[in-house]
């Protein structure tokens, strides 16, 4: 379970999400012609909409590269998509600069060694339940949910509930969707 300080949650303006192992299960589905498929959680997707509705910008950041990620981003209205980026902390710093915010206004969800620097540098660094041991050894916040199985939903809910925004955001979303 994630327990956040209210002051830390209230600072968050940008949520940076790793893709493989965070928004998806840590598995690649490959077809015989090498085509790759990814499975995303609709619960995570709705939570991303809630985060945006609450004024938190969401960015996707992956060391790998796939058109599938562009498609998923388009579906969710995520316009900040960074792929093929191995120096993830450099990108996170640039994202913060572009938003005119400090790193403590960034939340990051990751699962593997390439995420550790970023997880340690931001205001709220979250590991998914099945993150690698090196990640679990350094982060303060670990979800109950697995990567690709609601870990992003759990993170966003924790941030919005801690801020006291969750009920309002859900009500607004339902009212505007109907
Ligand atoms: Mg990953």
pLDDT in tens, 28-67: 999 999 999 999 999 999 999 999 999 999 999 999 999 9
Could you confirm whether domain 6-177 is CATH 3.40.50.1000? yes
Distances (CA, A) of 68 to 22, 50, 54, 76, 166: 15, 22, 26, 13, 29
Expressed in angstroms and rounded, the spacing between residue 21 Cα and the centre of ligand 1 is 4
Residue-level pLDDT at 178 = 60
Query: Could you tell me which residues are beta bridge partners of residue 124?
Result: 107
- Model confidence at 12: pLDDT above 80: yes
Expressed in angstroms and rounded, the spacing between residue 20 Cα and the centre of ligand 1 is 4
Expressed in angstroms and rounded, the spacing between residue 119 Cα and the centre of ligand 1 is 12
Give the three-class secondary structure for 48. helix
- Model confidence at 80: pLDDT above 80: yes
Expressed in angstroms and rounded, the spacing between residue 88 Cα and the centre of ligand 1 is 11
Expressed in angstroms and rounded, the spacing between residue 122 Cα and the centre of ligand 1 is 17
Residue-level pLDDT at 1 = 83
pLDDT in tens, 154-173: 999 999 999 999 999 999 98
**For the residues 91-116, what does the mean pLDDT come to?**
98
Residue-level pLDDT at 109 = 98
Choose among 81, 30, 86: nearest CA to 63: 86
Expressed in angstroms and rounded, the spacing between residue 111 Cα and the centre of ligand 1 is 5
Would you say the pTM of this structure is higher than 0.85?
A: yes
Expressed in angstroms and rounded, the spacing between residue 25 Cα and the centre of ligand 1 is 9
**For the residues 135-153, what does the mean pLDDT come to?**
97
pLDDT in tens, 104-140: 999 999 999 999 999 999 999 999 999 999 999 999 9
């Amino acid at each position: 379970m994630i327990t956040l300080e209210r002051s830390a949650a209230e600072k968050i303006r940008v949520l940076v999400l790793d893709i493989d192992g965070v928004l998806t299960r840590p598995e690649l589905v490959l077809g015989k012609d090498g085509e790759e498929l990814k499975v995303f959680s609709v619960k995570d997707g709705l939570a991303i909409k809630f985060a945006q509705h609450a004024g938190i910008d969401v960015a996707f950041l992956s060391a790998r590269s796939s058109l599938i990620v562009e498609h998923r981003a388009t579906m969710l209205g995520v316009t900040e998509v960074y792929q093929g980026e191995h120096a993830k902390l450099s990108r996170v710093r640039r994202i913060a600069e572009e938003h005119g915010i400090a790193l403590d206004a960034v939340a990051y969800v990751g699962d593997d060694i390439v995420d550790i620097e970023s997880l340690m540098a931001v205001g709220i660094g979250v590991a998914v339940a099945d993150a690698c041991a090196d990640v679990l050894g350094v982060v303060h916040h670990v979800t109950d949910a697995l990567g690709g199985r609601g870990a992003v939903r759990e993170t966003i809910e924790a941030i919005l509930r801690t801020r006291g925004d969750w009920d309002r955001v859900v009500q607004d979303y339902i009212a505007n969707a109907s």
